[in-house]
Structure 1
Amino acid sequence: MKSSILTPRLFICGMILWIVPFVLAIPFFQFFGSNRIVFKSIMGVILAITVVLVWNFYLKKIHSEFLKHSYVASCVWVLMSIVPDLFAFIGGFQMEIQTYLSEIAISYLVIPVILIGSASALENSANR
C-alpha cells in the first residue's frame, strides 16, 4: 500500500518554514528596517537556511521518490507561506499587492529551487 505524501509532517514543516522567518523578521526589522536592501538580503538568507534545515528534517523519513516529494512539498510550502502573508501584509499592514508580490512573495521561489535541486541530486546518487 502506498502512503500519501500529504502527511501531517509535511504541513507541520510548512508551518515551521513560514513561522521562523516571519518571527525573525521582527527583531531584524528593528535593526535594519531603515536599510531595505540589507533587511531583504538578511531575510533571504534566513529563508534559505530555514528551507534547508526544514527540508533536511523532512527528508529523514523519506527514502525514495525524492523528486515527487520535492514537487509536492514545494507547492504546499509556497502556498503555506504566501497565504498567511497575504493576511498579515495585505490585510494587517495594508501593503499593496504589487509590492508584496515583488518584494516578499518572489523570495519564496527559493523553496522549489532548494527542494527540487537537492531532490534531483538525491535521485541521481540513488540511481548510480
Structure 2
Amino acid sequence: MNKTTKILIFGFLLWLVPFLVSVVIYPLKTSENPLFESIMPVVITLTVVLISIKYFTNLSTDFLREGILTGMVWFLINIILDLSLFMWGPMQMSFENYMMDIGLTYLIIPTVTIGFGYIIQNH
C-alpha cells in the first residue's frame, strides 16, 4: 500500500473508531454529558496514539515532517467527515457551534503526531 493510501485509510479509521464509540455511548450525552465529554477526548487520543504507532513504525526518515503533514491531513479528514454529518445531517449544527463543541478536540490529532515525529527524529 502506498503512503498516500495508508494516510487516507488511517485518517478514516481515526474518525470511524471515535464515531462508533460516540454512537454507543450517546445516551450519556443527555444523561451524563460531562462523562460523555470526558470519554470522547480519551478515545480520540488513544486512537491517534495507536494509529500513529502503526504509521511511524514503517518510516525511516523525515519523522517530524511526516508528523506535521500526517497530523494535518488526519485533522482535516476528521473535520470534513464530521461536518458532513453535523452541518447537513440530522444534527444541523452551525460551523461555529461544531467547532466549539467538537472540532477543536481534533487538535489532539496533530499534537500527538507532531509529538511522535519530534521525539522519534530527536531520539
**TM-score of the superposed pair, with normalisation by structure 1:** 0.89
RMSD, aligned CA: 1.3
Distance 1:36 1:95 in 2: 17
1:1-128 aligned within 5 A: 7-30=4-27, 32-34=28-30, 35-92=32-89, 93-125=91-123
Secondary structure in structure 2 of the residue aligned to 1:91: coil
Superposed structure 1 runs of 4+ greater than 3 Å apart: none
Secondary structure in structure 1 of the residue aligned to 2:117: helix
Alpha-carbon distance, 1:96 to partner: 2.3
Deviations 1:20-72 (A, max 9, x none): 10111001112x11222211110000000000001111112111110010111
Q: How many aligned residue pairs are there? A: 120
Percent sequence identity over matched residues?
Answer: 32
Unpaired stretches in structure 2, ≥5 consecutive residues = none
Give the structure with higher Rg (CA). 1
Unpaired stretches in structure 1, ≥5 consecutive residues = none
**TM-score of the superposed pair, with normalisation by structure 2:** 0.92
